[in-house]
Amino acid sequence: MTVDVPNIKTASLILRQYYSFNLKERMTSMPYLSEIEKMWIAFQMVYSVSQIHKIGICHGDIKIENFLLTSAGSLLLR
């Protein structure tokens, strides 16, 4: 489908992954996390902090609400 909009030569679309839960919300909702999921999340938390410290960045506000979790179990430090 083509949309003809006068006076506009280019357009951009920015996509970003949707994170439905922060870690605090996910930990308190059903189904609860299994032990292996908890260990995987803990590893990702430590690894993400280690990576930002390695490049010389100090986060300054690390708390459970600043970790975003995907449905696939990947973690993002916000």
- Per-domain residue ranges for the chain? 21-77
Least confident range from 2-6, 37-41, 48-52: namely: 2-6
- The residues, any chain, with a CB within 8 Å of residue 5's CB and separated by 6 or more, are 11
Q: How far apart are CA 43 and CA 21, in angstroms?
A: 18
Please give the model's pTM, rounded to 2 decimal places.
Answer: 0.72
* Strands laid side by side in the 67-69 sheet: 21-22, 67-69, 75-77
- The residues, any chain, with a CB within 8 Å of residue 41's CB and separated by 6 or more, are 23, 33, 67, 69, 73, 75
Q: Considering only residues 44 and 5, tell me which one the structure prediction assigns the higher pLDDT.
A: 44
Question: Does the structure show a pLDDT above 90 at 8?
Answer: no
- The whole-chain average pLDDT of the chain stands at 86
Is 61 marked active-site? yes
pLDDT-based confidence at residue 6 (cuts at 50, 70, 90)? low
Question: Does the structure show a pLDDT above 60 at 1?
Answer: no
Looking at 1, 61, 71, 72, which residue is catalytic? 61
Question: Does the structure show a pLDDT above 90 at 52?
Answer: yes
